């Protein structure tokens, strides 16, 4: 089959039927108050759909539905193998609808269609498939009890899960939660970001088509301060699983303390250091990787390599290589399969990024490439990939998460200084180390306070390894068998023999 062209994608977009209603108990429904918000594409400002703006009444109804479904046991007490089969069908349906899902994602949040199709959708289906595959292979435990006792240590689904997710990888982040949450037998209410609700709404129907019973997966679009908060303070939600900013993550901890002490699992922000030592074996590979680490997904990546720490002796040479590599990342029409940098998610986010570029200038960093809004005539929200040199780690552009394609270059003189700068951050999500010295690589990796460390690469990973943060990047882990801890309660049952 011929790969789709820009005009193929445009004509598919013109024919797309977009569902904007909430999904509760197996059916699309308007918000109780019949309120909507407009979903506008950052690609060119086109109107996409009116989307249900859910509030506390919708949250309450969805929680009742989820609780009733959970208690009825249609899913929560079904056999692991039957849950696995439904999850595998769900994953297959995501793959079979990949073009539609990719198109929705691109139109909704501006990422390049090639990434949506080749990264977001396959990673999302992989998360569902991997978790489904795992669920009939996870065994409980028998405790080391005295002869006249039998101690069973079992894991049970926790009940009603509210999953609140961001807009940068809307489908993938949702599926990192849905995989283990659904496979474990929970009932889920998914709250997508108001900036990117469309794929979450579409996959809710696919879950039902796959045989996951109505009421097990419900989707409530709407704002964070309305429906998001309503779920987070609800007395009958058992756990909140969240991906988003550190600011809102902290708010969720407060909501939990003020309500029913629901479990709160947080995947939050990052300001990840990418450390390049002078003895790196392949500086060209490191430079290509450093450019991708800040430009991929317009820099709207929690693990973006936004602080490039370079050993002083190679700084000038290496920076020249990174600038050259970054020239290969140019904003363009996200529906063009050749485009590798799309639009920022909306005008507000674009203005945030431009304000950080302004802050970089003001704090005395030197702009070496980029720094401007482009393609304004399209009606979209595009910013050039940007590099600041001469950054000190105390500057705002080195401390705060910009969530856009803005790279801060910081110079260091020793391993100790590199580690100290790398760890001088409220965040601890990810880090990378480039060196040919295996001991230096390991010792640096051990010293870095981050949930993921990459050596001689950036952003490696799949479903087999846990993903999450140290410090204010969050708690708990997505992906791998460790993710199941968030969706289950541990029970000890003592039997007198």
Q: How far apart are CA 273 and CA 343, in angstroms?
A: 24
Pattern 415-434, ligand NAD, x by CB under 6 A: --------------x-----
**Rounded to the nearest whole angstrom, what is the least distance from the CB of residue 225 to ligand NAD in the complex?**
5
From residue 32, how far is each of 62, 65, 260, 310, 433 by CA, in Å? 11, 14, 25, 55, 51
* Contact status: 469 vs ligand NAD (CB under 6 A): yes
Give the residue with the Cβ less far from ligand NAD, 40 or 319: 40
Give the residue with the Cβ less far from ligand NAD, 69 or 168: 168
- Total Cβ atoms within 10 A of residue 371: 18
Pick the catalytic residue from 19, 105, 194, 267. Answer: 267
For the chain, helix, strand, coil in percent to 5 are: 40, 20, 35
For 492, counting Cβ atoms within 10 Å of its Cβ (0-12 exposed, 13-18 middle, 19+ buried), the class is: exposed
**Rounded to the nearest whole angstrom, what is the least distance from the CB of residue 296 to ligand NAD in the complex?**
13
Q: How far apart are CA 35 and CA 49, in angstroms?
A: 13
Contact segment (CB under 6 A) with ligand NAD among 88-96, 201-209, 241-249, 285-293 equals: 241-249
Give the residue with the Cβ less far from ligand NAD, 37 or 223: 223
User: Which of 340, 392, 81, 65 is CA-nearest to residue 217?
Assistant: 65
User: What DSSP character marks residue 298?
Assistant: G
Residues 6+ apart with CB under 8 A from 42: 109, 110, 342, 343, 344, 345, 346, 347, 380, 381
Pattern 439-468, ligand NAD, x by CB under 6 A: ------------------------------
User: What DSSP character marks residue 228?
Assistant: I
* Contact status: 305 vs ligand NAD (CB under 6 A): no
User: What is the total residue count of the chain?
Assistant: 497
* Contact status: 251 vs ligand NAD (CB under 6 A): yes
Q: What is the number of alpha carbons within 13 Å of residue 408 lying toward its C-beta?
A: 31
Chain centroid to CA 429: 12
* Contact status: 248 vs ligand NAD (CB under 6 A): yes
Give the residue with the Cβ less far from ligand NAD, 93 or 397: 397
**Rounded to the nearest whole angstrom, what is the least distance from the CB of residue 158 to ligand NAD in the complex?**
19
Among 286, 302, 397, 453, binds ligand NAD (CB under 6 A): 302
Among 19, 44, 55, 267, binds ligand NAD (CB under 6 A): 267
The residue at minimum Cβ distance from ligand NAD is 224
Give the residue with the Cβ less far from ligand NAD, 243 or 333: 243
Q: Beta 470-471 vs 366-369: how paired, if at all?
A: unpaired
Give the residue with the Cβ less far from ligand NAD, 228 or 331: 228
Give the residue with the Cβ less far from ligand NAD, 334 or 474: 474
* Contact status: 243 vs ligand NAD (CB under 6 A): yes
* Contact status: 403 vs ligand NAD (CB under 6 A): yes
**Rounded to the nearest whole angstrom, what is the least distance from the CB of residue 96 to ligand NAD in the complex?**
26
**Rounded to the nearest whole angstrom, what is the least distance from the CB of residue 478 to ligand NAD in the complex?**
6
Phi, psi dihedral angles at 121 (to 5 degrees): -65, -50
Give the residue with the Cβ less far from ligand NAD, 168 or 274: 168
* Contact status: 470 vs ligand NAD (CB under 6 A): no
**Rounded to the nearest whole angstrom, what is the least distance from the CB of residue 23 to ligand NAD in the complex?**
16
**Rounded to the nearest whole angstrom, what is the least distance from the CB of residue 80 to ligand NAD in the complex?**
27
CB 276 within 8 A of CB 444: no
Contact segment (CB under 6 A) with ligand NAD among 46-54, 92-100, 261-269, 330-338 equals: 261-269
**Rounded to the nearest whole angstrom, what is the least distance from the CB of residue 3 to ligand NAD in the complex?**
28
CB 193 within 8 A of CB 200: no
Give the residue with the Cβ less far from ligand NAD, 166 or 337: 166
Retrieve residue 71's tokens. Answer: 């208690």
* Contact status: 166 vs ligand NAD (CB under 6 A): yes
* Strand spans (E) along 261-329: 263-267, 273-276, 307-311
* Contact status: 159 vs ligand NAD (CB under 6 A): no
CB 167 within 8 A of CB 302: no
* Contact status: 401 vs ligand NAD (CB under 6 A): yes
Q: Is 338 a catalytic residue?
A: no
Residues 6+ apart with CB under 8 A from 285: 456
* Contact status: 194 vs ligand NAD (CB under 6 A): yes
Phi, psi dihedral angles at 153 (to 5 degrees): -115, 105
CB 41 within 8 A of CB 16: no
Residues recognised as catalytic: 267
Note the residues at the interface with ligand NAD (CB under 6 A): 164-168, 173, 191, 193-194, 223-225, 228-229, 232, 243-245, 248, 251, 267-270, 302, 401, 403, 429, 469, 473-474
């Amino acid at each position: 089959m011929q790969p789709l062209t820009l005009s193929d994608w445009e004509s598919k977009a013109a024919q797309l039927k977009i569902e904007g209603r909430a999904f509760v108990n197996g059916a699309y429904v308007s918000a109780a108050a019949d309120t909507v918000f407009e979903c506008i594409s950052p690609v060119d400002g086109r109107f996409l759909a009116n989307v249900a703006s859910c509030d506390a009444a919708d949250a309450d109804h969805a929680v009742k539905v989820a609780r009733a479904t959970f208690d009825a046991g249609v899913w929560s007490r079904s056999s692991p193998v039957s849950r696995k089969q439904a999850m595998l069908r769900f994953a297959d349906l995501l793959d079979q609808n990949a073009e539609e899902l990719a198109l929705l994602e691109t139109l909704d949040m501006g990422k390049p269609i090639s990434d949506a199709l080749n990264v977001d959708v396959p990673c999302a289906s992989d998360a569902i498939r991997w978790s489904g595959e795992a669920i009939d292979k996870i065994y409980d435990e028998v405790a080391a009890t005295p002869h006249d006792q039998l101690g069973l240590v079992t894991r049970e689904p926790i009940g009603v899960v509210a999953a609140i997710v961001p807009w940068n990888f809307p489908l993938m982040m949702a599926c990192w939660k849905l995989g283990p949450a659904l496979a474990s037998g929970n009932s889920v209410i998914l709250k997508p970001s108001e900036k990117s609700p469309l794929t979450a709404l579409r996959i809710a129907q696919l879950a039902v088509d796959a045989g996951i019973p109505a009421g097990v997966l419900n989707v409530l679009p709407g704002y964070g301060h309305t429906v998001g908060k309503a779920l987070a303070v609800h007395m009958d939600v058992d756990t909140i699983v969240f991906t988003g900013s550190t600011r809102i993550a902290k708010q969720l901890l407060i909501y939990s303390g003020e309500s029913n002490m629901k479990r709160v699992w947080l995947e939050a922000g990052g300001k990840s250091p990418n450390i390049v030592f002078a003895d790196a074996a392949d500086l060209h590979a490191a430079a290509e990787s450093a450019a991708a680490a800040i430009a991929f997904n317009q820099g709207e990546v929690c693990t973006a390599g936004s602080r490039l720490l370079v050993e002083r002796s190679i700084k000038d040479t290496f920076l020249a290589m990174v600038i050259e590599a970054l020239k290969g990342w140019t904003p363009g029409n996200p529906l063009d399969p050749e485009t590798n940098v799309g639009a920022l998610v909306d005008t507000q986010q674009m203005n945030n990024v431009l304000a950080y570029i302004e802050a970089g200038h003001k704090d005395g960093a030197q702009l070496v490439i980029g720094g401007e809004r482009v393609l304004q005539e399209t009606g979209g929200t595009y910013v050039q990939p940007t590099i600041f040199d001469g950054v000190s780690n105390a500057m705002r552009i080195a401390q705060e998460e910009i969530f856009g394609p803005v790279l801060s270059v910081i110079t260091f003189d020793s391993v100790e200084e590199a580690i100290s700068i790398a760890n001088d951050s409220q965040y601890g999500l990810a880090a990378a180390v480039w060196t040919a010295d295996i001991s230096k690589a390991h010792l640096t990796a051990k010293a870095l306070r981050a949930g993921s460390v990459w050596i001689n690469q950036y952003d490696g990973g799949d479903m087999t390894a846990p993903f999450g943060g140290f410090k204010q990047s969050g708690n708990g882990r997505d992906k791998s068998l460790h993710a199941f801890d968030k969706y289950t309660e541990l029970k000890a049952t003592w039997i007198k023999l």
